Chains A and B, each alone.
Chain A
Amino acid sequence: MLKLEDVHKAFGKNQILKGVDIEVNKGDVIVILGPSGSGKTTLLRSINFLEKADKGKLTLDDREMDMHHSSRKDISYVRKNTAFVFQNYCLFNNKTVLQNVTEGLIVARKVPKKEAVETAISALKKVGLEDKLDMYPAQLSGGMQQRVGIARAIAVNPKVILFDEPTSALDPELVGEVLSIIKRLAKEGTTMIVVTHEMSFAEDVANKVIFMSDGVVVEQGSPKEIFYKPKEERTKQFLKRILPVSDYVI
C-alpha cells in the first residue's frame, strides 16, 4: 500500500538518510527502532513531506511520485491519506479539543460541519476525552494532549498513521494511557508506522520491526527475530544497550 524506495536526505553536509527502502501493507504495525541520529524521525517526516527528501520514490496505493520533485497535488494527496502524531503533540493552541479534531475534516476535507462534529466526537470517545470537548490544549495534561493528537489523526480516517515518538515527551506516569490507546488501535487493524523506544510496545503489537542505524535499514523482521535472534552486529549492540541484561551490574 505504501512503499518507499531509495530515500536520501541530507541536512547540509550531514547525510541523514542514505537510501532507505520500506514497504507497508494494509494492517501493518511497523515499529522503527534505532539510536538517535539514525534517521528514523527524518524518514517518518519525509513520508508526510514535512521534510523534502533529496531523492526517493514514494508509492501510495497506485500513485507513484518522486519525493524530491513532487507536485503540490501529490503532496496534498499523501497528506490527506496519512496522519501524523507528533512527539510534542503540536495541538492547535487557539482551538478547543473538538476544533482540533474537526479542523482537518471541515477545512481540509470539506466535510459538512454536523457530520465532522459527529466523527470528531466518536474519535475523541476512542481516546476517552469526550468530556473535554470545549477545553483548550493549555488546560490539559501532556497525556491528554497526546490523546487529542491521536484523535485528530484517526478522525480523518487515514490509510496510515505515522507516530513520531508519541510518548517521549510525556511524564513516565502518563506514558501508559497513551500507549494503551495506540495498542488498541493497532489491534483494531489500523495501519501504522511507529518510531519509539518502547520495546515492550514493539514486542506486543508490531508485526514488523525495522532497525535503523546511520541512515540505513540494518535489519528488519518480526519482533521475535529482531529481539531474540538479531543477525547484525549493530542490532545486537543496540539491543544490549537498551534492554535490561543480566551481565549489567549496578
Chain B
Amino acid sequence: QDLPETTLSVVGSWSSLPLYQKFERVFWEETVPAASGGKITVNMTTFNQMGVSGGDVFRMLGDGVFEVGMTVGDYTVADAPELEGLDVPLLATDADSARKMVAAAKPMVADIMRDRFNAHMLAIAPYPPQVVFCNAEIASLDDLGGKKIRGSGRMTTLFLEALGAEGITMAFSEVPGALERGVIDCAVTGAGSGYSSGWFESSTHLVNLPLGGWDPVITAVNLDAWNAMDPAVQAFLTEQVKTGFEDPAWDDAAGALARDIACLTGSGECAAGAAASMTLVELSDADKARAVEVLEQKILPDWAERAGGDWAERWNASVGAALGVSIAN
C-alpha cells in the first residue's frame, strides 16, 4: 500500500484499564504502523497521563491540541447534552444488545462530534458494563430505594433519584472506605475495576445490572486534521480502526464481564488472582420492565428536553427502534 508519510498525536483513554492496555495501545502503536508499512507513525499517550480531565479531551481535540482523542462519551455531556442518549443505563443488559445500541446511535454521535467538537468520529468501543457493588442486602430494584449510592454521570444519578435512592458524588479512591463505614451503601463501576481495586473487600452484593450503562469510549479525529489527510489515509484508518480495534474490543466485551463476575463471586475460574465470594444478584424480568418504564416515562423525556431539537425523534427512530423502547412525548 502506498500511503503518504503521516504522523499522528494520539491521546488514549484511562491508561490503567484493559481497553487501553489491550486494544487502544496495541492498535495505534503496533497495528497502524505495521499495516501502513511504516508510513503512519504515532505518538501515543493517554489523557490521564497528561493530567487532562476526561471531560476536556474533546474540547482540546476540537482545538487541534492533538489529532486523535479518546474518551468516555458520558464525560463530555456538559458540552453536548444530546450525547447522553448514547449511553442510557439499563437498556442494554448484555454485550450484544449494547453493541446494537451503540451501532444504532453512531450516526447521531458522528453528527454531534462534528457539530460540537469539530471532530470526525472514528470508532466507539465499550468499557465493561457499569454494575453495582453494595454493602447491603439487595434482591430487587426496590431494595435500591432509600440507599446512598455513588453513581457516575447525570442520567444514572437521575435514575437513582427516580428510584428513591440518593446519588452521592465521591472520588473513586474514597469508595472502599465509604462502603466499609456505611457512608454509602452502593457504588457503581465496571466489574473489572471493582475487582482490581478490591471493592469486594468492603461490599457483599454484586447487582449484575448496567445501572451506569456501558461508558462507551468514542475515538475521534480533529476535523481539520481529518480533512487535510490524503483520502488513502482516511480510507486506511476507517477500515483498520474497525477491524483492528473496534471489532476485537467488542468481541472481548461479553467474555470480559463473565470473567470479572467469576473473579468477584467465585462462580468460576479467575485468571486475574484469587476469587472473591460476593453474592451475585440477577434482577427479575419484572424489575427490568419497571426500569424501562421509569426510563420511558421520566428519565428519557427529561433528557429529550435537555437535548432539545429533534433528538428525541432521532433517538426513537434509531436506538429506540433497535431496543424496542420509545420516549414518551
A, B bound: no
Chain B residues in contact with chain A, CB under 8 A?
none
